[in-house]
């Protein structure tokens, strides 16, 4: 399950960003996950549930996952189309094989919400 490793990297990025922006606890994380990454949303959720036990997250922290379909663009005829089978990249209009993938490879943190640190300066 490579999702555990992916989530570990994302938690590191979140911790770094939270520190930089003085966020004390994270309440919500939104991920964008392309289908070509083969990262399963349920497995990412399970990994998040393990990592959310860390002090970085509030006890009620939630993970929102937006899946992105694989979209191809034919370099031969210009057709943009959803790729139904990730193994077959054939244009449905002209049967061309010069396909550029324009969506489906994404895997990133879209945003997160959290509680800012409280500071008391004298």
pTM of this prediction?
0.83
118 has binding-site annotation = no
105 has binding-site annotation = no
The pLDDT of residue 88: 78
Long-range CB contact pairs, 16-23, < 8 A, 24+:
17/112, 18/56, 18/112, 18/114, 21/116, 22/116, 22/117, 22/119, 23/112, 23/114, 23/115, 23/116, 23/117
21 has binding-site annotation = no
The pLDDT of residue 84: 82
pLDDT lower than 70: segments of the chain: 1, 86-87, 118-122
The pLDDT of residue 29: 98
The pLDDT of residue 121: 52
């Amino acid at each position: 399950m490579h999702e555990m490793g992916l989530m570990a990297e994302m938690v590191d990025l979140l911790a770094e960003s939270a520190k930089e922006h003085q966020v004390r606890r994270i309440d919500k994380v939104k991920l964008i996950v392309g289908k070509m990454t083969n990262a399963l949303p349920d497995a990412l959720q399970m990994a998040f549930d393990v990592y959310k036990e860390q002090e970085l997250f509030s006890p009620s922290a939630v993970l929102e996952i937006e899946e992105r379909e694989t979209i191809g663009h034919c370099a031969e005829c210009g057709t943009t189309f959803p790729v139904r089978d990730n193994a077959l990249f054939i244009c449905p209009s002209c049967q061309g094989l010069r396909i550029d993938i324009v969506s489906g490879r994404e895997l990133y943190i879209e945003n997160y919400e959290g509680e800012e640190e409280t500071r008391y300066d004298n």
